[in-house]
Structure 1
């Protein structure tokens, strides 16, 4: 996340995901809420105990799986592979990028319908199609990032007592903050549905007012959906980036350096 102007700190509203959603929701009427105030709404006073324990108690090194390479270089390579896979999936798995082929099977699939006003090779999608795609991408992020985060913690814990402490703190942070984060991210498809309805209504109103065919609005919505997914991936990836930054740097002779 980008730093706030004039300070070295990061603002809660600097996240790309928040910036993308802001125009959809409208300007805030209340004073902006600071990051610590937001965080306090997610934590209870009883959550201080596991945080204190992670800072004070001896750290047990978690065992690696028998077939797991515990080296930092292997962890970096695996992380890059996961990020590349998730980034490609954001766009490659989108059904509207296979529109002509999807249109040919639309009579049997039941979830795509040709638009009467569209070009012969164009396909109009209803919102459930977009919801399914978005939720599937969210699930894939969760399925790939969560075990990678655990792997990075195991690798960190083997490097030094200090990094083992950091890995333990990250595990506590994930346990305490993971569920509130998942609830917020689960609300994004509902915001997308409202955005879809707004763009469709605006296009229909413009067409009714001018008696001309409205400009295509679904490609614009698809572009916004792609951007929102990328922003969500960036947000979910931040703990991974932090753990990777804590790994020992590759040596001068290392091909990854």
Structure 2
């Protein structure tokens, strides 16, 4: 019988809790203060750009406001398309190999699926975020400033976000290995691997959906700003 974990649950968003469960490493109980971490991430060039966005003169608003319903509908559509990509069926490894397949070889379809879903999320949410900023800038001078600040924050934070998210397929690979070794230590037939594989597929789906929610946080914020009068 599998030994129950004695690790202390990690506080924080669902995505962080899932990644902590997939990893052997213990995450710090007290996360770094956000303002201190942002100070480390902003070099002086970025700080000047942000300062201009916050303190500079307000740009003039353009005529014509976009329909809120159109923005809401587009966000719903994009989220639905990305969720369908996450839920897409994953082709199993070829069943006709004579030798026992290596765990890393068996995990490859899942790694590729995870990376493809991440690329789709990054591309689609990036385009959507830019369009929402453009719409926000057309509503009022104050909202145009908010859009400019969001653009600066995306430029600063997105590279670090992508670097961290790039580690998700590796963490899922470790989780796959542990589940397979615990659930089917002598099996060479992954197409009939049993409950451990169903659990892994569900865990991977939950992790990707949680990542999708993280990527939509700034989009949801921009939508809320667009609705504000």
Under TM normalisation by the shorter chain, which class is it?
A: 0.7 to 0.9
Q: TM-score, normalised by structure 1?
A: 0.71
**2:95 paired residue among 95, 102, 114:** 114
Is 2:179 the counterpart of 1:180? Answer: no
**1:199 paired residue among 174, 179, 182:** 179
Which residue of structure 2 aligns with residue 126 of structure 1? 106
Contact 2:78/2:124 (<8 A) preserved: yes
Task: Report the 3-state secondary structure (helix = DSSP H, G, I; strand = E; otherwise coil) of the residue aligned with 1:113.
Answer: coil
Unaligned segments of structure 2, at least 5 residues: 1-9, 98-104
Deviation, 1:37, is 3.5
1:17-166, aligned counterparts within 5 Å?
Answer: 17-25=15-23, 26-28=25-27, 31-60=30-59, 70-91=66-87, 93-95=88-90, 112-114=93-95, 126-166=106-146
Which residue of structure 1 aligns with residue 6 of structure 2? none
Contact 2:61/2:141 (<8 A) preserved: no
**1:220 paired residue among 199, 202, 226:** 199
Q: 2: distance between equivalents of 1:29 and 1:73?
A: 42
Structure with greater contact order relative to length (CA < 8 Å, sep ≥ 6) = 2
The total of aligned residue pairs comes to 208
Task: Report the 3-state secondary structure (helix = DSSP H, G, I; strand = E; otherwise coil) of the residue aligned with 2:94.
Answer: coil
Deviation, 1:164, is 0.8
Contact 2:86/2:208 (<8 A) preserved: yes
Contact 1:90/1:137 (<8 A) preserved: yes
Q: 1: distance between equivalents of 2:116 and 2:75?
A: 20
RMSD across aligned positions (CA): 3.0
Deviation, 1:223, is 0.5
Q: 2: distance between equivalents of 1:202 and 1:61?
A: 62
Contact 2:60/2:141 (<8 A) preserved: no
Deviation, 1:47, is 2.4
Deviation, 1:89, is 1.9
Contact 1:72/1:248 (<8 A) preserved: yes
Q: 2: distance between equivalents of 1:28 and 1:170?
A: 29
Deviation, 1:248, is 2.6
Q: TM-score, normalised by structure 2?
A: 0.79
Contact 1:62/1:154 (<8 A) preserved: no
Q: 1: distance between equivalents of 2:39 and 2:228?
A: 34
Contact 1:79/1:148 (<8 A) preserved: yes
Deviation, 1:115, is 8.5
Deviation, 1:45, is 4.2
Q: 2: distance between equivalents of 1:30 and 1:245?
A: 32
1:201–1:154 distance in 2 versus 1, CA, 3 Å: same
Deviation, 1:194, is 1.2
Q: Deviations over 1:141-193 (max 9, x none)?
A: 11211111011011111111111111110000001111000111111111111
Unaligned segments of structure 1, at least 5 residues: 1-11, 100-111, 117-124, 251-257
